[in-house]
Structure 1
Amino acid sequence: MLDMSLLRGVTKVIAVDAQIQEVWNPETRALAAEAWQCYNSGALRASITITWTAVTTDLIAKIGSLADDGDRDAINLRDEIEQAQAHGLTPQGTIAMQKIENKLLDSAQLLELIDSVDKRALERIREDRNLCVHPSLRVLDAPYQPLPDVARANLSVALDALLIHPPTQGKKILDVFKDYTCDPGFTTSTPTHIQRLFYDRVRTNTRRNIASLAAKHAVGELDVGGRLSASAYADRCAHVLAAVAERDRVLVREAMQRCQDRYRQADTDTQRRALSRLGDQDYFWTMLDDSLVAHVGGLVPQVPADPYEALDPTTIAVLSLVGNTVAREHLPQLEQRFEQLGFPHRSSVMSDRPSAYFVPHIPALLRTAYNFRAGERAGEVLRIHSQYLTIPALQQSLSAWSANVDCRMAADMPPKVVSLLTETAHLGSGRVEHFRRFLGDVRAAWKPGDPEFYLYDDLETALNRAP
């Protein structure tokens, strides 16, 4: 039978090892690793002493980093540290550095590198360190003998409270967040980067503040000082919420629930845009009470009488929510509106938010394409849904494609089918026969005088190379 206490011990070891690898500063990381080695070898006093050394080294490095960024309080502290260091290993230098070390935790709290709770925990490490290196502090000539759990707890506290975090915390991290999300290089394709910067490497309170800030912007489209349009910034914050929710959905739900009144009081256009950017997420719907859900149902746009009238982006985004199960459950109007859409509108909606829901509608889209441009749009809808295709859906779509001259002989379609072959690799070798049948069908329909481009020779080459 597995010894559960042994399993818990192994888990703790793995957790500490992993955290040490996450330590921000290389010098501090080496010290943390040394403290862990001392703990594992039974040198508990050494482990506690080196843990405190890692704390002071880390704080001094972070103060220097903040000073480099122009923080006035950090600059003053760095100047004081450098003056002490200039005296070297002399009585004057030692006394000066001791004074700095004595107020180091207060300085760290001032700079928002730690909060009051973290400070209290780190003070305990300093006290344990003093007991380890100053045996005279204990009466009766009995040297301090730390328990193994104390040494391990000190290192774990140091890692959690300080060592694994970058040198920006508290209010400053919110400024970093705003700069990051306003940057022209912001991309929605890397949620793991967002998670690492603004969830994995920040404290619980900071996570809560970031989620709250992102939720307020995503729901209410607050001004960001002209750095970006309020709507565009709200879209970015919606992506941040989605990334954070992958780590902690409860945190995001709580942040959204605090925005209920903000959403209720917003104007109709703002509410509709918020629906379009957040309506595919469960935490949006947990924000709404029954009266708001009913109100949101009235925000679903009507289908224009003219099938060729261009739809605005918000209308497209709202109608594309039909592909999301959660949105359909709350807004049955979505399916009704979708069924009323003609080819141009339907292809736009299906392209906006690809999902498995749209796959059964793709063959009909390919069959009803009425000119070369429409054929290319239908082909693109098929391609961007490649990850959701099944073998039967692929077969039906290729058959509809080959049967419609406006798809078959549209300029973008021969290269598009090669891309589709690559992007359906998850269907395995069974898909190849359907692409070969498609190739035979388009060549059978080809007539002398038609451009040879529409013999789809590139597809044949790709099929010959396909596994």
Structure 2
Amino acid sequence: MADLDTLVHQVWSPEVRPLAEEALRCYNAGAFRASIAATWAAITADIITKVARLADEGDTLVADFHKKITDAQEKGLTSEGVRAMQSIERELLAKAVEFELIDSVDCRELERIQQDRNLCVHPSLRAHGGAYTPLPEVARGHLAVAMTILLASPPTQASRALKEFCDHICDPFFQPALPHIQVTYFDRVRAAGRRSNVQVAAKAALLETDPAGKMPPPEHADRMAIALEAFAGRDRDLVRQTFAGLSERFQRIDGLIQRRVLIRLCDTDYFWEAVNPALAGRLESLAVPPAPFSSAGPLPTDYAYSLAIVRSPYVRERMPKVEKSVAELPMHHKMQIIAIHPDRYFVPMTIQFLHDAGSWVMGGQTGQLFVQHATFLTMETLKAGLTEWAENHECRTANPMPELAVRLYQLTAHLGPERNRLFRDFVTVVQAHEEPGSFYTYPALIAALDAAA
């Protein structure tokens, strides 16, 4: 059951919010007829306010109706003015549909409130006498419906809301800020608009639809996948249902696109729920190289990205050949894969690399990888990594390592001051191996530890 107090605070207009609060007070006091009447008053005020806002923004579609409203308001509390406003109220919901403030389903819900409001304020409408007595649940339901489908949404038309969302995704200065996407393009959009935004985002992420030439489809799809993750944080079932409806089309698209989609969405549950066993087998064949690559050079970039999906538990469960293929790669190929997408799954591998590094170059690269995984470290894995680092001469004395140690200390702040002991122990081991005063006794790390103390 909806929390009416919360819904009232979500009413977008400061002019309309007092009317919604009055309807809630009437409901809480047991004045259910008055609550329904006040709810309808809030609905009419909300639509009129939104029409005025759209007119101020230059929307030509609402211009004539807005003038009709202002003409009636200028007549004031005269018989002519009252008749004009009554005429406006009769067509208010139809105009709201025309202006895309609500859809036909929403209109039906609001018409029920209008009809019950008429029964509440005109008791003579009931045959055989007796005043209409609404149930408490009816008053509560009307209030919740009004605030959910109308009062909480700003005056953004459905088509314009979708256009604004698509423009944001294609903005050259786009930032993957999930809270902003959630609030602006989900929370403040009506239910129909939310469905439209999710549908467009899912099609782009899954099928790489063309954004009217505004940017390359694969890059556009990557951004839409970010938006989908934001939307899933609000309504995961809606995203799942949308993906399920697109799964058949996804099965028939080009294999190159399918592989990019797999890389893009491998971490999401709603993608895998739309993948049947047959499709999972095809995706597995697209991700795994057809034959082993020479260890002399780097992995081809496309296959490096494909194999980096091994981080996903869904991939390891549904596509076991990917994990097997990665396990058979030489160390420098694994490092290339891990660098593409740091993940908690790769932490044990990076620790093993610190142990296995056999040159200064490899030592510096493994140190960089370990630092890239700093946010995933626990006290146990940090201790294990620092131990391997300090004991491996090729790591300990690689040129970038003293600076990387300071960076690692900074990036493990989430572990708190307890980690200081681990870094002190690390310094002690390092100093036991190196000449006093050497650059490789990590003086910058010691200074950072002293400053923190």
For normalisation by structure 2, the TM-score amounts to 0.89
- Assess if the C-alpha contact under 8 Å between 1:166 and 1:201 holds in 2: yes
Q: Which moved more, 1:198-207 or 1:70-79?
A: 198-207
Partner of 1:6: none
- Assess if the C-alpha contact under 8 Å between 1:307 and 1:344 holds in 2: no
Pick aligned residue for 1:447 from 435, 444, 449: 435
Q: Distance in 2 between matches of 1:413 and 1:362?
A: 15
Q: Distance in 2 between matches of 1:268 and 1:355?
A: 26
Matches within 5 A, 1:304-453: 304-309=293-298, 311-312=300-301, 314-369=302-357, 374-410=362-398, 412-427=400-415, 430-447=418-435, 450-451=438-439
Number of aligned pairs? 451
Q: Distance in 1 between matches of 2:70 and 2:13?
A: 19
- Assess if the C-alpha contact under 8 Å between 1:169 and 1:202 holds in 2: no
TM-superposition CA deviations, 1:319-356 (whole Å, max 9, x none): 11111111111222222332243444322321332223
TM-superposition CA deviations, 1:209-261 (whole Å, max 9, x none): 33332222112211101111100011112222222233333332332233233
| Structure 2 residue 446 is the aligned partner of structure 1 residue 460 | yes
| Structure 2 residue 195 is the aligned partner of structure 1 residue 231 | no
The alpha-carbon deviation at position 101 of structure 1 amounts to 1.5
Q: Distance in 2 between matches of 1:462 and 1:372?
A: 24
How has the CA–CA distance of structure 1 residues 432 and 118 changed in structure 2, closer, same or farther, with 3 Å as cutoff?
Answer: same
How has the CA–CA distance of structure 1 residues 376 and 262 changed in structure 2, closer, same or farther, with 3 Å as cutoff?
Answer: farther
Pick aligned residue for 1:81 from 40, 46, 69: 69
TM-superposition CA deviations, 1:186-214 (whole Å, max 9, x none): 322x3233333344444444433333322
How has the CA–CA distance of structure 1 residues 264 and 125 changed in structure 2, closer, same or farther, with 3 Å as cutoff?
Answer: closer
How has the CA–CA distance of structure 1 residues 380 and 100 changed in structure 2, closer, same or farther, with 3 Å as cutoff?
Answer: farther
Q: Distance in 1 between matches of 2:276 and 2:29?
A: 58
The alpha-carbon deviation at position 118 of structure 1 amounts to 1.6
The alpha-carbon deviation at position 276 of structure 1 amounts to 0.7
The alpha-carbon deviation at position 177 of structure 1 amounts to 2.1
How has the CA–CA distance of structure 1 residues 279 and 149 changed in structure 2, closer, same or farther, with 3 Å as cutoff?
Answer: closer
Instruction: Give 3-state SS (helix, strand or coil) of 1:228's partner.
Output: coil
- Assess if the C-alpha contact under 8 Å between 2:288 and 2:321 holds in 1: no
Instruction: Give 3-state SS (helix, strand or coil) of 1:441's partner.
Output: helix
- Assess if the C-alpha contact under 8 Å between 2:308 and 2:341 holds in 1: yes
Matches within 5 A, 1:52-451: 52-138=40-126, 142-188=130-176, 190-302=177-289, 304-309=293-298, 311-312=300-301, 314-369=302-357, 374-410=362-398, 412-427=400-415, 430-447=418-435, 450-451=438-439
Q: Distance in 2 between matches of 1:432 and 1:448?
A: 21
Q: Distance in 2 between matches of 1:434 and 1:216?
A: 48
- Assess if the C-alpha contact under 8 Å between 1:307 and 1:341 holds in 2: no
State, as a whole percentage, how many aligned pairs show the same letter: 41
Partner of 1:5: none
- Assess if the C-alpha contact under 8 Å between 1:322 and 1:328 holds in 2: yes
Partner of 1:8: none
How has the CA–CA distance of structure 1 residues 71 and 216 changed in structure 2, closer, same or farther, with 3 Å as cutoff?
Answer: same
Q: Distance in 2 between matches of 1:288 and 1:149?
A: 42
Q: Distance in 1 between matches of 2:436 and 2:424?
A: 21
Q: Distance in 1 between matches of 2:358 and 2:57?
A: 60
TM-superposition CA deviations, 1:414-449 (whole Å, max 9, x none): 343234234334545553322111112233344368
Q: Which amino acid aligns with 2:443?
A: D
Pick aligned residue for 1:46 from 21, 34, 42: 34
Q: Distance in 2 between matches of 1:465 and 1:40?
A: 59
Instruction: Give 3-state SS (helix, strand or coil) of 1:26's partner.
Output: coil
How has the CA–CA distance of structure 1 residues 340 and 111 changed in structure 2, closer, same or farther, with 3 Å as cutoff?
Answer: same
Q: Distance in 1 between matches of 2:427 and 2:184?
A: 48
Q: Distance in 1 between matches of 2:31 and 2:245?
A: 50
Q: Distance in 2 between matches of 1:215 and 1:44?
A: 43
Q: Which amino acid aligns with 1:463?
A: L
The alpha-carbon deviation at position 69 of structure 1 amounts to 4.2
The alpha-carbon deviation at position 178 of structure 1 amounts to 1.0
The alpha-carbon deviation at position 55 of structure 1 amounts to 0.6
Q: Distance in 2 between matches of 1:148 and 1:292?
A: 52
How has the CA–CA distance of structure 1 residues 94 and 348 changed in structure 2, closer, same or farther, with 3 Å as cutoff?
Answer: farther
Q: Distance in 1 between matches of 2:95 and 2:358?
A: 71
- Assess if the C-alpha contact under 8 Å between 2:150 and 2:190 holds in 1: no
- The answer for unaligned runs of 5 or more in structure 1 is 1-10
Q: Distance in 2 between matches of 1:64 and 1:342?
A: 67
Q: Which amino acid aligns with 1:75?
A: A
Q: Which amino acid aligns with 1:456?
A: Y
Instruction: Give 3-state SS (helix, strand or coil) of 1:258's partner.
Output: helix
- Assess if the C-alpha contact under 8 Å between 1:195 and 1:247 holds in 2: yes
Q: Distance in 2 between matches of 1:263 and 1:121?
A: 36
- Assess if the C-alpha contact under 8 Å between 1:446 and 1:455 holds in 2: yes
- Assess if the C-alpha contact under 8 Å between 2:288 and 2:322 holds in 1: no
The alpha-carbon deviation at position 460 of structure 1 amounts to 2.4
TM-superposition CA deviations, 1:377-417 (whole Å, max 9, x none): 32232123223323332222112222345543455433432
Q: Distance in 2 between matches of 1:64 and 1:216?
A: 35
